[in-house]
A and B are shown apart, each in its own frame.
Chain A
Amino acid sequence: MERDVIYLEDVTIRFAGDSGDGMQLTGSKFSDTSAFIGADVSTFPDYPSEVRAPEGTLYGVSAYQIHFGSKGVYTPGDKIDVLVAMNPASLKVNLPFLREKGILIVNTANFTEKNLKLAKYETNPLEDGSLKNYQVFKINFNEIVKEILKDSGLSPKQIERTKNIFALGLTYWLFDLPLTETEHWIKKKFGKKPEIAEANLKVLRAGYEFGETNELFAIRYRISTKKLEPGVYRNITGNEAVALALVVAAKKANLPLFLGSYPITPASEILHYIASYKPYGVLHLQAEDEIGGVTSAIGAAYGGALAATSTSGPGLSLKVEGLGLAVILELPLIVVDVQRAGPSTGMPTKMEQSDLFISMFGRHGEAPLPVLAASTPTDCFDMTIEAARIAIKYMTPVILLTDGYLGQSSEEWKIPDLDSIPEIPVEFYTKPDYLPYKRDPITLARSWAIPGYPGLEHRIGGLEKEDVTGVISQDPLNHQRMVELRAEKINRIQQDIPDAELFGSEDADLLIIGWGSTYGSIKAAFDRLTEKGYKLAYVHLKYLNPFPKNLGSIIEKFDKILVPENNLGQLAFILQGKFLKPVISYHKIQGRIFLSSEIENKILEVLNQKGR
């Protein structure tokens, strides 16, 4: 039947169900397809920290949100346009995010008395009129897949499991998206189990046809896509981007790669990916603890590897002593902290930006080190390579901050041409006049000599050492000199990093300073308000220690500075201490990124305030 087609610039869809309903998979496949057609994509997997929370419960709800389109896709989206809810609990948890008049597709099969009770519904929302503000489509997915696959020979349980694929087919129809990408994936994934592959393909197409033939839906949507520049594209999460970048950085430095790590949410995928790169000669150790993760990496760095460790907040707390050692040894090391909500165990699967202070200051003694932050999932790739470059060039540990949101969510990525990524020069010292702590006059980096080369046998350690020779020394003046040299070395990195980029104009009424994953929300709000004629300026920091050298002169030009952060104002504190200029700190600490509307409202509020 012919339907009206509505053209949209962008749409946000959320698949929600029980932890075992396959929502993460459904969402990631939808996201692959939407990127495949050339849309900008930003995703947000939202899942509980329990492995399989009891079925039907509110805390067991797992969801995956995809924002895609041609314009303003910087975040996974503020409000949902389409919600697919597989059971009462997922409806209850996610309905508050659905915009008014939004599309709600409900799998009615699970709206049993028991499940309603588990979801704390007193009456059935599908019947009590409480959903009248939405366009509700009630479909019994379970019954339909049962009918489709009745001759498939699969068990009832296997059949039921395909219901998410049905939902996927249906939403593809709704947005006029092709099935090819997912079909290709199913064939590859279940290549060894043809009956499962066949069943899933059948159900996927049935979902699509259900939309086509059923009169339930009067409208279809078509998302406008933008013309992407030519190249090879894929979807990528921040965690995978980090893992790939480590491999590329090692290649560019022509060093073996070593990752020492310990499982921790939401950073574990970095370990998983690296572990799967065996065919590329990558070395890794799942250490016995977080301390082992960092210290094994220090050992590997001494041996000449590009060494890295990946973790999240609680792990970073444990790595602190190792970082102090790496600072005094002056060996290259990359530490990736996928920040999560703390303190202590906090909210393991939820994002936060509260590890800035520990990264800057969380070591005893004077132990400065470079701190970088990635702003988007794909930026995780670039900033990991940058971390490696700085670590090697300056012989220092580097902390790269990402977070649970960046690590887990994905966006489309133009795969870089390897030749376009600069080499990272490394030269192991081999001359017989080796002095372990003799420094390059410009970078102040010491030179790197590795075991196995005759005549350069030397010892390094955590005890203070004499300038140049590296012989242990407790001399008071030497200690001060070494402390100052180590600090000056980090300061000099400022000469080697790009200036901060200023969006907007220097005579704007307000400067917004962001860092890390707030980029998407701030940029979306900034663009919208700028379009409306507000005079705004925006700087997004990727280098937090040292800061870009032009940051001070930018800050000087503004009377009003707003710093949105997912912490209690850690960057705001550092900026004020460094530049002696008051800033307005705006914080959100809910385990979720800012909505762009929240930033927008805050900007308007600040602009309307008289004076400061």
Chain B
Amino acid sequence: MTTLVDKIIQTKPISAIEYAPKDFKSPLEVRWCSGCGDYSILSQVQKVLAGLKIPREQFAFISGIGCSSRFPYYMQTYGIHGIHGRAVIIATGLKIARPDLSVWVVTGDGDCLSIGGNHFIHAARRNIGLKVLLFNNGIYSLTKGQVAPTTQFGSPTKSTPYGNIDYPFNPVALALGSGSSFVARTFDRDPKHMQYILERAGRHNGFAFVEIYSNCVIYNDGAYDLFTSAETRKEHSIMLEHGKPLIFGTNNDKGIRLDGFTPTVVSLADGKWSVNDLIVHNEQDSTLAFILANMTYNPELPRPFGIFQAIQKPTYEELIAKQIEEAKAKTPDTSIETLLKGDSYWEIK
């Protein structure tokens, strides 16, 4: 059966696949605070989309509520600015109905991990083909400064004037634990790294989760400075690269070695350990991904950025298509007339 939707897909005019980033800019003026990390993300997303060789009309950006969730209005693509926490599940419905689309979700730490936590873990579990960009600023900003699920332990906020006593979520570990097939972390201050990660996410077949540290200049300024500023990041961050040993430090003189299952920092300068003793990153190794994710809040260890995991498994939309195809093949008569009759019917003449 060819539906009207199929007809639209099959008969639409052929469109270009060569774009400049400006082709993805909507006429609407961007209204984030000056200095907000989200500007950088918007700009990198527009750059990456221009290079994916996908017709522009195939993109849909779905968001929830929060500063980051204004994102779809700034993109010259299809999109829905939804309701708080529901972006991932709205996008799920869209992707099931329209597996031909490239569906992106833009969400914040409150939107995705607090009110939308349930939708997030289940979408990851289903491996539905969505790209979920979590703009993590560690605070509720649009509502003016309340504690968020990723706010650092102990931090004072408007709603925790005596300090935050909730332990923060580790979004990367949560995504891995929920079965996300692609899990990565990047940050606002490194456009090249972000572009690489977004491009990989854009090309991933299945659920792709990208945590992006985004600085909120108003309510949580500098929360990620230690890991993202040029002065300190080499000492406090480590960039994961597939097939490469885990090396960091201002002079690339430190590495991460596994002591049993425990990652530990070793010096490459004192002659005791060499590069050969270090963990070699493997995006397809799920066990390693968990170990690396768990480095996140350990003050003894550098914070990892990059692709923690990129594995392939059948996606939800592929499995639906397969089930339908198989069920059709097994059913000799798929006419609606027969369906209406059910198991037991009789005729009155």
Chain A residues close to B by CB (< 8 Å): 32, 35-36, 38, 181, 184-185, 188, 228-236, 240, 244, 247-248, 251, 253-256, 258, 260, 277-281, 283, 285, 287-289, 291-292, 295-305, 307, 321-322, 324-325, 329, 415-416, 418, 426, 428, 430, 450-463, 471-472
Do the beta carbons of B341 and A302 come within 8 Å of each other? Answer: no
Asked if B296 lies at the interface with its beta carbon under 8 angstroms from chain A, I say: no
Cβ of A247: which chain B residues have Cβ within 8 Å of it?
A: 336, 339
A279 vs B330: C-alpha distance when bound (angstroms): 8
Do the beta carbons of B345 and A292 come within 8 Å of each other? Answer: no
The 6 closest A-B pairs by CB, nearest first: A461-B81, A299-B93, A296-B93, A299-B94, A278-B327, A279-B331
Asked if B92 lies at the interface with its beta carbon under 8 angstroms from chain A, I say: yes
Do the beta carbons of B94 and A281 come within 8 Å of each other? Answer: no
Asked if B189 lies at the interface with its beta carbon under 8 angstroms from chain A, I say: no
Cβ of B91: which chain A residues have Cβ within 8 Å of it?
A: 299
Looking at the assembled complex, report how far the CB atom of B5 sits from the nearest CB atom of chain A, in whole angstroms. Answer: 4
With contact pairs A452-B101, A454-B55 given, residues A248 and B89 touching in the complex (Cβ less than 8 Å): no
Do the beta carbons of B336 and A280 come within 8 Å of each other? Answer: yes
* Residues 68-107 of chain B, each 1 if its beta carbon lies under 8 Å from chain A, else 0: 0000110111111111001001111111111011000000
The residue in B81, B86, B91, B97 that gathers the most chain A C-beta atoms within 10 A of its C-beta is: B97
Do the beta carbons of A296 and B80 come within 8 Å of each other? Answer: no
Do the beta carbons of B336 and A299 come within 8 Å of each other? Answer: no
Cβ contact of B83, chosen from A184, A235, A295, A302, cutoff 8 A = A295
* Residues 39-67 of chain B, each 1 if its beta carbon lies under 8 Å from chain A, else 0: 00000000000000001111111100100
Looking at the assembled complex, report how far the CB atom of A452 sits from the nearest CB atom of chain B, in whole angstroms. Answer: 6
Task: Choose, from B8-16, B149-157, B161-169, B203-211, the stretch at the interface.
Answer: B8-16
Cβ of B72: which chain A residues have Cβ within 8 Å of it?
A: 459, 461
Cβ contact of A451, chosen from B60, B119, B331, cutoff 8 A = B60
Asked if B260 lies at the interface with its beta carbon under 8 angstroms from chain A, I say: no
Do the beta carbons of A452 and B345 come within 8 Å of each other? Answer: no
| Known pairs A288-B121, A291-B89, A428-B5 / 15 extra A-B pairs, C-beta < 8 Å | A184-B344, A229-B348, A233-B346, A233-B348, A260-B93, A287-B122, A295-B86, A303-B97, A304-B5, A430-B12, A450-B98, A452-B58, A452-B78, A454-B15, A454-B55
Looking at the assembled complex, report how far the CB atom of A57 sits from the nearest CB atom of chain B, in whole angstroms. Answer: 33
A428 vs B4: C-alpha distance when bound (angstroms): 8
B64 and chain A: residue at smallest CB distance: A462
Looking at the assembled complex, report how far the CB atom of A297 sits from the nearest CB atom of chain B, in whole angstroms. Answer: 6
Do the beta carbons of A281 and B83 come within 8 Å of each other? Answer: no
Cβ contact of B4, chosen from A36, A322, A426, cutoff 8 A = A426
Cβ of B90: which chain A residues have Cβ within 8 Å of it?
A: 295-296, 298-299, 302
Do the beta carbons of A255 and B4 come within 8 Å of each other? Answer: yes
Do the beta carbons of B57 and A456 come within 8 Å of each other? Answer: yes
Cβ contact of B73, chosen from A228, A230, A288, A461, cutoff 8 A = A461
Do the beta carbons of B344 and A185 come within 8 Å of each other? Answer: yes
Cβ contact of A287, chosen from B89, B94, B345, cutoff 8 A = B89
A247 vs B342: C-alpha distance when bound (angstroms): 14
Do the beta carbons of A302 and B94 come within 8 Å of each other? Answer: yes
Do the beta carbons of A277 and B339 come within 8 Å of each other? Answer: yes
Cβ of A296: which chain B residues have Cβ within 8 Å of it?
A: 89-90, 92-93, 96
Cβ of B15: which chain A residues have Cβ within 8 Å of it?
A: 454-455
Do the beta carbons of A32 and B3 come within 8 Å of each other? Answer: no
Do the beta carbons of A244 and B347 come within 8 Å of each other? Answer: no
Do the beta carbons of A305 and B97 come within 8 Å of each other? Answer: yes
Looking at the assembled complex, report how far the CB atom of B154 sits from the nearest CB atom of chain A, in whole angstroms. Answer: 32
Asked if B337 lies at the interface with its beta carbon under 8 angstroms from chain A, I say: yes
With contact pairs A38-B348, A258-B96, A288-B118 given, residues A453 and B12 touching in the complex (Cβ less than 8 Å): yes
Cβ of B62: which chain A residues have Cβ within 8 Å of it?
A: 299
Do the beta carbons of A453 and B8 come within 8 Å of each other? Answer: yes
Cβ contact of B323, chosen from A278, A418, A426, cutoff 8 A = A278
25 CB-based A-B contacts, threshold 8 Å? A181-B344, A185-B344, A230-B348, A232-B345, A234-B345, A236-B342, A254-B4, A255-B3, A258-B97, A281-B324, A291-B86, A292-B92, A292-B118, A304-B8, A428-B4, A430-B8, A450-B98, A451-B94, A452-B9, A454-B56, A457-B78, A459-B26, A460-B79, A462-B81, A471-B28
B327 and chain A: residue at smallest CB distance: A278
A188 vs B345: C-alpha distance when bound (angstroms): 14
A285 vs B122: C-alpha distance when bound (angstroms): 12
Cβ of B86: which chain A residues have Cβ within 8 Å of it?
A: 291-292, 295, 322, 325
Looking at the assembled complex, report how far the CB atom of B337 sits from the nearest CB atom of chain A, in whole angstroms. Answer: 6
